[in-house]
């Protein structure tokens, strides 16, 4: 399934801090900050906004 078509933002390669899967994120990963793949991001997303 295709999602987010039409964007032209740079994607950065990263490794998910949870499952260790390779993923791409629309922001530059910083040292010391966890990066999550889409699935893990949903798991770690805080319940409140």
Residue 39 sits at φ, ψ, to 5 deg, of -65, -45
**Residues near Zn ion (CB under 5 A), total:** 6
Say whether residue 35 binds Zn ion (CB under 5 A): no
Dihedral pair phi/psi, residue 40, rounded to 5°: -70, -30
- 23 by Cβ neighbours in 10 Å (0-12 / 13-18 / 19+) ranks as buried
* Residue with smaller CB distance to Zn ion, 22 or 31: 22
Q: Is 19 in the site for Zn ion (CB under 5 A)?
A: yes
Of 4 and 6, which CB lies nearer to Zn ion in the complex structure? Answer: 4
CB of 3 to Zn ion, least distance (A): 16
């Amino acid at each position: 399934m295709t999602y987010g078509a039409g964007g032209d933002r740079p994607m950065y390669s990263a490794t998910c801090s949870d499952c260790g899967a390779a993923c791409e994120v629309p922001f530059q990963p910083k040292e010391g900050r966890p990066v999550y793949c889409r699935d893990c991001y949903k798991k770690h997303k805080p319940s409140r906004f």
